[in-house]
Each structure stands twice: as structure tokens, then as C-alpha cells.
Chains A and B, each alone.
Chain A
Amino acid sequence: GAVVSQHPSWVICKSGTSVKIECRSLDFQATTMFWYRQFPKQSLMLMATSNEGSKATYEQGVEKDKFLINHASLTLSTLTVTSAHPEDSSFYICRGGGLAGEETQYFGPGTRLLVL
């Protein structure tokens, strides 16, 4: 089956710094990447959708200048949390899409972000 990896798996940073999270599709071309955020004991919330080579589409309430998404290739999408604050601490998960004739629903393993 299709595999999606994320790096790093966890990160601790100081308030005000920027953190980059990578999402890679290992055995398929992900024309679309979906980024989710999950707070403890809550469901996954879609943050943004990115298509390879074009600008990401952000969900209502998600600041595009704070959560920078780059989808420069068919196997790599990155999410950068700029000037992170403690309230940005969360579990960030990506999902790759794009297999021909099938909606891919393979999630990455997630990245735990803790902002001190």
C-alpha cells in the first residue's frame, strides 16, 4: 500500500521560532497533500490543501501567513509554522492524494509539536 512519511516525528521549540515539517509520499505521486491538525482528544481538523506547483487552499480560520505550505514536487510537501507560540502546540498530520482512479486516504504518522 501507499506509504506517507513525516519528519520530524516530534519537535520541541522555543516560542517565536519557526518549525518546518516534511511530508513525503514514498511510493506514489501525491498531486494533492492535505494538512491536518489534531488537538488532544479531538478529531482531525483540515488546515489546508495543496496541489503540486500551485498555491495552497486554506480552511477558514487558518492563517496562511503563519502556516506556510510548499508543495514543490509530487513527493514532497512542507508545512512551516512561523513564529510558533504555545497555542500552536498540536499534532500535525498530512495525507497524500493522487493515485489514478482512487482517492488516496493514506495518512502520515504525524508530527508532535511542542512550543515552549
Chain B
Amino acid sequence: KNQVEQSPQSLIILEGKNCTLQCNYTVSPFSNLRWYKQDTGRGPVSLTIMTFSENTKSNGRYTATLDADTKQSSLHITASQLSDSASYICVVTLNTGTASKLTFGTGTRLQVTL
């Protein structure tokens, strides 16, 4: 069964600190992996996208890594800000040849506090 698991479920950190979110997947065949940020009551916004051959991708203070061999990805947030408080969702695209299907992780809820 194609699954995407994220950890931790929730995380509280102090403003200015760094944090790393984890994503393990069993989706196969794999097309790409995206990290999204979803603010409360809003739709997801794409942060990074990585294909099978990419190991790392940065977007400002966000850096995603991918190990396609172990089927693990991480999202590292540097110098966190209060506005980083949101849910972060790992989404893996399954490539069926004729169509693509997204498999969503359950997300990590991050709260950045003073």
C-alpha cells in the first residue's frame, strides 16, 4: 500500500531556532516529492519539489532533502519565525504511466513561539 508518514505529528519551537521535519514514504513508482506549507484555514502552498535524481532543494530558509534509496525526505527550517507556524505536508506523486496520483502525508503541525 502506498503510504506517506510524517514525524513528528506536532512540534513547538522557540523563535529563531532550527527544526527538521521527517517524511518516510512507500510510494512506488515514485515521480516526485513536494513539501507544502498549509496555514490554518488556507490551501497548501508549495515549498519545494524534488525528483528522483535530486538530493536537496532550497527555498529561502527551507531546505528539503531526499534519499530515494531509503525513501526518506526531510524539511529543515532555519532561523524559524512566528509566521512559520503552520502544518507542513509531504506529498509524493505516484506515476502510474497514464496518470499521476498524489499521496498526502498527515502533516506536521509546527508552532513557533516567543
A interface list, Cβ under 8 A from B: 4, 6, 41-46, 91, 93, 103, 105-110, 112
Is A107's CB under 8 angstroms from B43's CB?
yes
Of A42, A45, A46, A109, the residue contacting B43 (CB under 8 A) is: A109
Of B41, B42, B46, B93, the residue contacting A106 (CB under 8 A) is: B46
Instruction: List, in ascending order, chain B residues with CB within 8 A of A91's CB.
Output: 41
Is B42's CB under 8 angstroms from A46's CB?
no
B51 shortest CB reach to chain A, Å: 11
Number of interface residues of B (CB under 8 A): 19
Is A43's CB under 8 angstroms from B93's CB?
no
A25 shortest CB reach to chain B, Å: 13
Bound form: Cα–Cα A37–B22 in Å: 24
B68 at the interface (CB under 8 A from A): no
Please give me the residue from chain B that is nearest to A6 by CB atom.
B43
A43 shortest CB reach to chain B, Å: 4
Q: Knowing A103-B100, A105-B34, A110-B41 are in contact, say whether A43-B107 is a contact too (CB < 8 A).
A: yes
Instruction: List, in ascending order, chain B residues with CB within 8 A of A46's CB.
Output: 102
* Additional pairs, 20, CB under 8 Å, beyond known A103-B100, A110-B41: A6-B43, A41-B109, A42-B106, A43-B89, A44-B44, A44-B104, A45-B104, A46-B102, A93-B44, A103-B93, A105-B46, A105-B91, A105-B102, A106-B46, A107-B36, A107-B43, A109-B42, A109-B43, A110-B42, A112-B41
Instruction: List, in ascending order, chain B residues with CB within 8 A of A45's CB.
Output: 104
Instruction: List, in ascending order, chain A residues with CB within 8 A of B49's CB.
Output: 105
Instruction: List, in ascending order, chain A residues with CB within 8 A of B91's CB.
Output: 105
Instruction: List, in ascending order, chain B residues with CB within 8 A of A6's CB.
Output: 43
Bound form: Cα–Cα A91–B41 in Å: 8
